[in-house]
Amino acid sequence: MSSTWQVGLVVVAVVAGGFAAGTSQTPTALEYEIKAVFLMNFARYVEWPAQSPQADVKRPIVVGVLGRDPFGTTLDEALRDRTVQGRPLVARRYRKPEEIDLCHVLFVSPSADGREPGVLKIMEKSAVLTVTDEGRAGTGEGIIHFSMEGQKVRFAVDLQAAQRSGLRISSQLLKIAARVRGLPP
């Protein structure tokens, strides 16, 4: 496991520890701080298709939010001055799927998921790592799905959805996933 991922996990553990200890921040704010760190680190463990625009090493890695943004400034702060494979990480917000030009990791907020039916199927053709909150796992739509187990943020990975998008997910990421759908027998 790389030292950057270990640092990210330590940050997640510290934030999660504060969450469990009942700090002055609301559980939702802390939950999304943890999720922001996960989004940042997910980009480290995905390989985009060589022919896709996402593979262009001259471009920054874009972590986007579609729909109402539950992160506030937390996502921007998590990405500030960070790089993945020498490429800067930047946050972008999109109200509608049509606004998405180049995106690597896309968090589809529950507001967008309900308002834009089929958005995850549309994104499947775009080599974008789609990430959702609870409720989408097992639907065949979306690649990574966050869930809350007690006061812990967990995630599930749908390898079949990743393959349909042309993405390769590192075994390092799969090892820490709570569930992995589509593993070969």
Q: According to the per-residue pLDDT averaged within each range, which of 107-116, 120-129, 136-145 is highest?
A: 120-129
- pLDDT, tens digit, for every residue of 19-70? 444 444 555 889 999 999 999 999 999 999 999 999 999 999 999 999 999 9
Q: What pLDDT does 120 receive?
A: 77
Calculate the alpha carbon distances from 69 to 3, 8, 103, 180 in Å.
29, 22, 16, 27
Mean pLDDT, rounded, for 87-105: 93
* pLDDT of 184 above 80: no
Would you say 79 and 38 are in contact if contact means Cβ atoms under 8 Å apart?
no
Spell out the alpha helix ranges (H) of 22-95: 27-42, 74-79
Would you say 165 and 159 are in contact if contact means Cβ atoms under 8 Å apart?
no
Would you say 134 and 145 are in contact if contact means Cβ atoms under 8 Å apart?
yes
- In CATH, what number does 3-181 get? 3.40.50.2300
Give the whole-angstrom CA distance, residue 135 versus residue 21.
27
Q: What pLDDT does 114 receive?
A: 56
What share of residues in the chain are helix, strand, coil (percent, to 5)?
A: 40, 25, 35
pLDDT band at 116 (very low <50, low <70, confident <90, very high): low
